[in-house]
Structure 1
Amino acid sequence: MNDRLDKAVDLFKEVMIFGTERIIKSIDHEIYELYSPEQIHMLQILFKLEKASPGRLAELQGVHKSAVSNRLKKLSHNGLIDVVESEKDQRGKTLTLTDKGKSIIRQSNELISSHIEELLAGELKESEIDEFIRIFKKVKAILKVEDDQ
């Protein structure tokens, strides 16, 4: 890999890892006191996919199924997700967000967007924002993010 692309990949990873944590920790709202970043991430995934199995959530979060199981118990107990048992396989489950879960994620998305906008206001030129959008659309297409189900 050439040095410039290597640097771009490293920066992308750093923003993904540390940026998410920084943003969530710096927003003072009860959602982030009630639910961990990992739980919010799980809800985000379900919001995007509409439904998923526990195994798929574990894959997307890069954790063992037992970690997902513990998160799901709390989210289910709080009425944020529905767990539908498979009629074909006793071990199979499909997870979806409840209306309450969707509301939490919509609120979280608004909080995060507002916070990022405040952080970046005046820091980026319009041309830089356009370039950012262009590059991320291209990366998304290359990774086939939407087809990853």
Structure 2
Amino acid sequence: MQKQIGEAVELFEEVMIYGQGKVLKSINTELWKKFSPEQIQMLKLIKKEEKLTSNQLAELQGVHKSAISNRLKKLVEKNVVTMLDSEEDQRTKYIELTEEGEKVIQKSDQLLHDYIEHLFSEHIEEAELAQFIEMFKKIKSILQLGDEDK
């Protein structure tokens, strides 16, 4: 069992680390030349959470606040996010998606969906896909439980 867990961890890490880069390189689109993977991830986090502070965003991405500040500046310049003052605390600014930001996410999601759909339909059998879905549901559930314990 321990050997299998080690192999599973290695495979999971490889897919997480190298898979994203491979997919992004395989889909030749202007969108992913204009926005880095980190910027796309930021936009998706902002959409999911609806509004965030830069501190919250840094924590979610696991990076220092200075990295977020630089990325945010570029996203504001590209008119995909906006900074709004908090009504409760003048020092706090919330990050929200603009309409253009919503379009960028929709386009990115569609490109990714189309690519993964093609990849799966060409290389994975229906039974394997069902196993994949069940396994990732379980992993997602485990990871969410881990987050709630913090």
TM-score by length of 1: 0.89
> Paired residue for 1:107?
107
User: Does the alignment pair 1:38 with 2:38?
Assistant: yes
Matches within 5 A, 1:126-141: 126-141=126-141
Shift in Å, 1:65: 0.7
Matched residue type, 1:7 = E
Instruction: Give 2:96's aligned residue.
Output: 96
For 1:76 and 1:17, the matched residues in 2 are separated by 28
Secondary structure in 2 matching 1:88: coil
Residue aligning to 1:18: 18
Question: What is the root-mean-square deviation in Å for CA atoms of aligned residues?
Answer: 2.0
2: distance between equivalents of 1:119 and 1:5? 26
1:123 aligns to what?
123
Displacement of 1:119 = 2.5
Shift of 1:47: 1.9
Paired position in structure 1 for 2:5: 5
Does the residue aligned with 2:117 lie in a helix, a strand or coil?
Answer: helix
2-side partners of 1:33 and 1:19: how far apart?
18
Return structure 1 stretches of 4+ with deviation > 4 angstroms: 145-148
| Identity across the alignment (%) | 46
Cα 1:147–1:30 shift into 2, 3 Å: farther
The separation in 2 between residues aligned to 1:3 and 1:91, in whole angstroms, is 51
Deviation at 1:129, TM superposition (A): 0.6
* 3-state SS of 1:28 partner: coil
> Across the two proteins, how many residue pairs are aligned to each other?
148
Q: Which runs of 5+ in 2 are unaligned?
A: none
Tell me the CA shift for residue 121 of structure 1.
2.5
Instruction: State the Cα distance separating 1:147 from its structure 2 match.
Output: 6.0
Letter in 2 for 1:91: R
